[in-house]
């Protein structure tokens, strides 16, 4: 997993770190149909898009190219307004989630509590009793 905080410039661009580019320069920017959390988008290398698209409800998809400065331009002002001027990039395997910084911090406080983590671990142990966590 990769986690990094990046500024979005006034021209709606941010730099994609080398660690996350993996040689790709064509991406799909996907806004999932998650009414509870519209401040998250996913950046998926074009070569992995079909696998991702079948696994989630999609609200909008934009074709994205990385420029020579390794920047990505958010496709519209509405998305820029939702994500904010400081974004968090969360690298998750073959795709990257782009989070509004304040929403990420709230998610961390509410969802990643010791109680919830223990609950998930207990559920995993029940599903596979041969694994000890």
Residue 39's CB is within 10 A of a number of other CB atoms, namely: 20
Residue 96's CB is within 10 A of a number of other CB atoms, namely: 24
Percent of the chain at pLDDT exceeding 90: 17
Whether CATH 3.20.20.220 fits 2-101 = no
Domain ranges of the chain: 2-101
89-115 average pLDDT score: 86
Residue 53, CA distances (Å) to 91, 109, 111 in order: 17, 29, 25
State the pTM of this model: 0.77
C-alpha 133/C-alpha 115 separation (Å) is: 15
- pLDDT recorded at residue 33: 73
What is the overall mean pLDDT for the chain?
Answer: 84
Contact criterion met (CB below 8 Å) for 91 and 2: yes
């Amino acid at each position: 997993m990769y986690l990094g905080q990046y500024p979005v410039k006034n021209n709606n661009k941010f730099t994609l770190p080398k660690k996350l580019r993996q040689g790709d320069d064509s991406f799909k920017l996907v806004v999932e149909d998650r009414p509870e959390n519209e401040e998250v988008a996913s950046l998926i290398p074009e070569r992995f898009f079909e696998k991702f698209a079948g696994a989630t409800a999609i609200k909008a998809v934009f074709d994205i190219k990385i420029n020579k400065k390794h920047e990505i331009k958010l496709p519209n002002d509405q998305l820029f307004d939702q994500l904010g001027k400081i974004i968090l990039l969360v690298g998750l395997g073959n795709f990257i989630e782009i989070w509004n910084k304040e929403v990420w911090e709230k998610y961390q406080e509410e969802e990643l509590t010791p109680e919830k983590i223990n609950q998930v671990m207990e559920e995993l142990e029940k599903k596979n009793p041969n694994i000890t966590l």
